Amino acid sequence: MSQLFSPLSLGQVTLDNRIIIAPMCQYSANNGAASDWHTIHLGQLSLSGAGLLILEATAVNPEGRISYGDLGLWNNETQQALGKSLKAVRQYSPMPIGIQLAHAGRKASTGKPWEDIGAIAPDDVNGWQTLAPSAIAYDDSSPVPKAMSQDDIDSLIKDFVSAAKRADELGLDLIELHGAHGYLLHQFLSPLSNKRDDNYGGSLENRMRLLLDVFKAVRAVFPSEKAVGVRISATDWVEGGWDLDQSIVLSKALDELGCDFIHVSTAGLSPEQKIPVKPNFQVPFATAIKEAVNMPVIAVGLITEAQQAEDIISEQQADAVALARGILYNPHWPWHAAAELGATVTAPKQYLRSSPHGQPSPIK
């Protein structure tokens, strides 16, 4: 029996299999509001046979967007627009759906990737003043962010709580807090971007404080039968930055607070990063964290083949695998993996006749 296609529980949320669709920004929202593109995109992914779909990084306030086209969940308009897309998707898919709540910090106020314009100045019509732990720009071409005051931090936590409540009202099954890829919560974690001298800077305990405070606040308002987890970058890939040892300390702290899962990625904080990209290059970080915690651990990063994913699970390197670009390229990746591994996935009845002639069907 395929281990990749065995059930997995994230808290009280049970997945049919261990394939997770990772959050992938679409840069196609209107003032934070989901568009028809989101309905089409999410509808396609919801028919993939994966065990869980996590919506793209969703800003908890307008200034938290990476670009002016990012999805948001901060008012009635953004909630209603996302609700419209989710209602359409849920008519045809029973797949659990989660959302990644985020704030981009100093990496906010940019153009869309295909526009190739990078950071946008605060006085531009599509730009705004960015915030960060310290007044340190991401790179030489980015505006200097404003160092957050205690009032800014208090307001941020309230915005995460408000977005979590809206996520619950939308019927979402899970929240993933975005503490990875160089965005705001990661910026507080890393000594490269956090030079504060208050309770949120300096020691590892202090640098972890904001992420842990956000987790506790969100967990307190999101129903206990629904899952709350965290995505982290386990290393900055820069000497003197955030690293695996610190990630393990953070993961243990989250585990003690009742975190339901941890999603282990790497990088994104500094343009000085040197990443040894190859298949499974991030999996050892997930494995090291898995050995230190009780909660399920999700591995990600150039996991593209069915047997590769099966081996990660069967060898207990991680509890689940997440696909991003790979499932955009091949939205039926779980179908093909199930066929290769002798398993089955759930698919709409309209597609039951789609298997190649003479081959057993992996869909049910």
**Active-site position among 183, 200, 329, 351:** 183
**Tokens of residue 171, six digits:** 């019927």
Residue 37: what are its φ and ψ, rounded to 5°? -60, -40
Name the nearest CA neighbour of 24 among 190, 132, 178, 164: 178
320-323 and 297-300 as β-strands: parallel, antiparallel, unpaired?
A: parallel
Name the nearest CA neighbour of 156 among 242, 297, 61, 62: 61
Name the nearest CA neighbour of 145 among 109, 188, 106: 106
- Cα-trace Rg, the chain: 20
68 has catalytic annotation? no
CB 22 within 8 A of CB 300: yes
**Tokens of residue 133, six digits:** 């732990």
CB 74 within 8 A of CB 42: no
Q: Return the active site residues.
A: 183
